[in-house]
Structure 1
Amino acid sequence: MALRAGLGSRRRRGALALAAALLAAGLPLTGCTAAGTPQPSIAAGSTAGPTSGMTPASAPLETSQTSAKAPVYWLGRARDGVYLYREFRDADSRDNPIATALRIMMSQKPLDPHYFSPWQSPKKLAASVSGRNYITVDVSDDAFNTGVDEPTAQLAVQQLVYTATAAAASSGLVDAGQPISVMLLVDGRTSQLAFQRVQLGQLMQRDPSMIAPVWIIDPQEGSRLKGSLKVFGRATQPDKPFAWQVLRHDAQGNRSVYVSGTVTSGHDAGHVGEFTFAVNLPPGDYEVRILPAEDASPSATSSTSAWDSKSFTITG
């Protein structure tokens, strides 16, 4: 199910009710910005970003949803580098939505085997939002895997920024029409080093150079679908052509291209970069892949050539 509902007055009332409930339960949602209130800045870029001429035009913020799904970002290897990708995960709607999404990001495995996270499960994790669209995240220092390199550390910090802002926006706890900044504290302290490599102590915003140029939103990895495949995805650029393939798995585990085609990302207001297509399929195990338009060869079945891919099953 594509989650694309707008932020209306009904949702805002629901967000206020959620905030009140969380506060009553002792979960912080207001106040708590770092001492000195540093000026907003964007985290440093990464050498793991795009290298094939696909510079992202934007990093669209999630919109308010009607389900209890937590948006979680992961690192994913694809084609020429490592990028940020998003999944929606089941979550308890009664809990702090930002802390819940971050806990999943740090403690659970992604659904997609091509994704990963360098974070470790922390002993302590707290999240709060101020009235100025500032999110404060405080983690214990055991959250950091010190064995990562500089580009991975930069991506991991942005992974936290993307996940925290996504959870806050999709829960209606911030004004999605205004910039959202994140302050990351380590054991309540500013100016620490994340992963012993990235200097903290400043408010951070989303770095659009680190998001995947294109990814599949629906179906999610491992989905079981009845009769047909309906793909919904997003690219960071409008009017961008892509090739798609549906690979079928045989009884021996071999894969071959069953059907293929092309699709172009949209440019309409409110749906910039979105694309969709549908295919009727017989029962079986499949994989759908999104590739650059020039890589649409039927013999190209390696997952390393795709921007994103999802395995799924068509039931009878």
Structure 2
Amino acid sequence: MNEELLRRMLAEEAARVEVSPVALASIRRRIRRRWWRRIRVVPIGRGLVGAAAVVLTCVVGVSTCGPLAGPGSPAGPVTAPVAVYYQGGDPERRLYREFRQLAVGDGSSAARVRAAVRELLAPDGADDPDYGSGWPAGSGLRGVTVDTGTATVDLSGVAGRSGAVSHPADDRGAEQTVQQLVWTVTAVTGITGVRVLLDGAPVDRLWERVDVRGVLRRGPAVDVLAPVWLIDPQQGDRVGGRFEVHVAALAGEPTVHLRVRQGDRTVAEQVLALSAGPSAQGEAELVLTLAPGDYTLRAYVVSVTDGAERFADDHRVTVG
């Protein structure tokens, strides 16, 4: 019983770490520089531990990490990869994450939250055409404040009080729309909760469906996130001829499948063992080598009960 409780607690904490798709390449470039000789780096799982902790401050919470600063570094706006969560097209509206390289003002937590929420509410939406948002058109951001780990997000145009004129189509959609906001905001390092204001005032319910009183927290990953998730490369990425693929799954199956197609032709098929059992989110990685061209990468699981392909997530990428 204690082991199961501990496993769930660790899984919840692990789900809060937003690993950017640019993180690994960035870390490797830093390791290759001359000053690597002064650092003892020991691989532990998928992370890195160094004797000089300041060098690795961007490994954990890397979605909100900006460039390393030092004496003589030029001042100016900070840019960083920012995590934004979108809904899938399935009836459960499970969430997928995309990264944006955005200007984040002075780099403060409040500035990063502002950048992420504006991107979430932007009308052009996700890069992946299979993803979308439940936030009504015309929703806007009035302001953000941060205090002791809680971000207060002041929205406009949401029509969340009684007599809502624009809202998600059903209860599940409404709940996932709020979780879109919560997971996006709490992807910023140090933010663990969200308060919602509408036009500067507290609100009890959004769209007469979702209770948003008090501090909102992330819902359980198993209920909120997509069962299969092609993390990297992302939709529309351009990659080299040899590149890494990173997949996560929370679908109750021990393996995840990867199919690579170029036009109507399948050029690669892989079955990958997940790093965790069926009751937890597992991950898998592999290296692909492909000739230059356009490809579609499709991650999915095969049901052990009926052999059906389920929970597919695909991204179109360009090699070369």
The TM-score range, normalised by the shorter chain, is: 0.5 to 0.7
Residue of structure 2 aligned with 1:122, choices 139, 145, 148 = 139
**Contact 2:259–2:297 (8 Å) recurs in 1:** yes
Question: Deviations along 1:2-48, whole A, 9 cap, x unmatched?
Answer: 4367799648999xxxxxxxxxxxxxxxxxxxxxxxxxxxxxxxxxx
> Alignment partner of 1:99: what SS?
helix
Matched, 1:85 2:96: yes
**Structure 1 residue 311 and structure 2 residue 312: aligned?**
no
TM-score between both structures, scaled by the size of structure 2: 0.66
- Of 3, 23, 37 in structure 2, the residue corresponding to residue 3 of structure 1 is 23
1:43-192 equivalences under 5 Å are 65-66=65-66, 68-78=80-90, 81-94=92-105, 96-107=111-122, 108-119=124-135, 120-131=137-148, 133-142=149-158, 145-166=166-187, 168-169=188-189, 174=190, 180-192=192-204
Greater relative CO (CA pairs within 8 A, separation 6+): 1
What is the deviation of 1:267? Answer: 4.6
CA RMSD of aligned residues (A): 3.4
Residue of 258, 266, 270 corresponding to 2:267: 258
Query: Offset of 1:200 from its aligned partner?
Result: 1.9
Q: What is the Cα deviation at residue 197 of structure 1?
A: 2.2
User: Does the aligned pair in 1 maintain the 2:168–2:174 contact within 8 Å?
Assistant: no
Aligned CA distance change for structure 1 residues 238 and 135 (closer, same or farther; 3 Å): farther
CA distance in 2, matches of 1:202, 1:12: 35
**Aligned with residue 212 of structure 2, among 189, 200, 213:** 200
SS at 1:113's partner residue?
coil
SS in 2 for 1:82: coil
Unaligned 5+ runs, structure 2: 1-20, 28-46, 68-79, 161-165
CA contact (8 A) 2:255 2:274 kept: yes
Alpha carbons of 1:285 and 1:267: their partners in 2 closer, same or farther (altered >3 Å)?
same
Deviations 1:127-185 (A, max 9, x none): 22212x2221111134764252211111000000000000x21xxxx17xxxx221111
Between the aligned partners of 1:61 and 1:197, the Cα distance in structure 2 is: 32
Count of matched residue pairs: 246
1:240 and 1:65 map into 2 onto residues whose CA distance is 33
Q: Which amino acid in 2 is paired with 1:65? A: C
The one-letter code sitting in structure 1 at the alignment partner of 2:210 is V
Following the alignment from structure 2 to structure 1, what is the Cα–Cα distance between the partners of residues 152 and 56? 21
Instruction: Return 85-94 or 114-123, whichever deviates more.
Output: 114-123
User: 1:289 aligned to 285, 298, 307, which one?
Assistant: 298
**Structure 2 counterpart of 1:51:** none
1:222 lines up with 2:236 in the alignment: yes
* Structure 1 residue 306, shift from structure 2 partner: 4.0
Paired residue for 1:274?
A: 283
Q: Secondary structure at the match of 2:89?
A: strand
State how far apart, in whole Å, the 1-side matches of 2:61 and 2:254 are. Answer: 20
Question: Sequence identity, in percent?
Answer: 28
Shift of 1:203: 1.4
Over 3 Å counting, the alpha-carbon distance change for 1:201 and 1:84 in structure 2 is: same
Rounded Cα–Cα distance in structure 2 between residues aligned with 1:214 and 1:101 = 23
Contact 1:232 1:276 in 2 (8 A): yes
- TM-score, normalization by structure 1: 0.67
Q: Supply the distance in 1 between the matched residues of 2:144 and 2:159 (Cα, whole angstroms).
A: 14
Moved more, 100-109 or 155-164: 100-109
Q: Supply the AA of the counterpart residue of 1:165.
A: T
Distance (Å, rounded) in 1 between the aligned partners of 2:232 and 2:85: 15
CA distance in 2, matches of 1:306, 1:234: 12
